[in-house]
Amino acid sequence: MKILALETATDACSAALWLDGEVEETLRLAPREHAALLLPMVQSLLAGAGLTLGRLDALAFGRGPGSFTGLRIAAGMAQGLAFGAGLPVVPVSTLAALAQGTAREQGVDRVLAALDARMQEVYWGAYRLQGAHVVAAAQEIVCPPTAVPPPPGAGEWAGAGSGWLAWGEALRAATGASRVFADQRPQARDVASLAATGLAAGEAVAPEQVRPVYLRDQVAIKPGAGA
């Protein structure tokens, strides 16, 4: 299975190539430079692997929630590349990718993923490790940090993401999280890992069905639209 994954929902811009379980990733912390960086990253990864887009099985992208502009960049590029190569696309939750990376790097199995949503809100999701991958333990929402729901079920939960950096005190009070990894960011390598499972489960969509997921209902801008 060969998957190219893109992730630009936060200040981290990354692309990754999943080759039968082996992953090559390029990542840069570069706010407002994602549009210029992403395509060269893709070209470098493909060239390094000696592959063309047409030899891939699918593309994947971090579908949100996250930065509106960042989501449009990844969705638009995934859509455009997939159209050109005749490939399906696997949308992957940005919060799930954040939780997957936290589990992978920190050795935790329950993650409360939070991204700063501005406007005194956070994007919020709870995930449990099931085998090698995280699965959602509750519905993703956007809400004030004081209104996040308590962690579902028993066990110790770890916090991860920029929402904890911005609203750590309120989130700790609401959830009792035992450990916090506020510097964790969603990465393309984890989008790729989750996409491999999603592709096998039939979760890919046609390029014309690619849409970012903002969680805020008032935002409805199609991929490729201006920032």
Task: Please check whether residues 108 and 61 belong to one and the same domain.
Answer: no
Angle at 22 between CA 72 and CA 203, to 5 degrees: 45
Count of structural domains, the chain:
2
Show the tokens assigned to 96: 């799930």
Q: What is the pLDDT of residue 16?
A: 98
pLDDT in tens, 21-52: 999 999 999 999 999 999 999 999 999 999 99
Helix or strand run (H / E) with residue 81:
helix 68-85
Task: Please check whether residues 82 and 100 belong to one and the same domain.
Answer: no
Q: Name the residue range of residue 126's domain.
A: 95-181
Whether 144 is covered by a domain: the verdict is yes
Query: 20: left (phi > 0), else alpha (psi -120 to 50), else beta?
Result: left
Instruction: Assign residue 53 the CATH number of its domain.
Output: 3.30.420.40
Q: What is the pLDDT of residue 205?
A: 98
Q: Which residues of the chain have pLDDT under 70?
A: 217-227
Among 102, 82, 75, which residue's Cα sits nearest to residue 177?
102
Task: Please check whether residues 99 and 172 belong to one and the same domain.
Answer: yes
Task: Please check whether residues 190 and 172 belong to one and the same domain.
Answer: no
Task: Please check whether residues 132 and 202 belong to one and the same domain.
Answer: no
Task: Please check whether residues 87 and 191 belong to one and the same domain.
Answer: yes
Task: Please check whether residues 86 and 8 belong to one and the same domain.
Answer: yes
**pTM, two decimal places:** 0.94
Strand partners, 179: 158
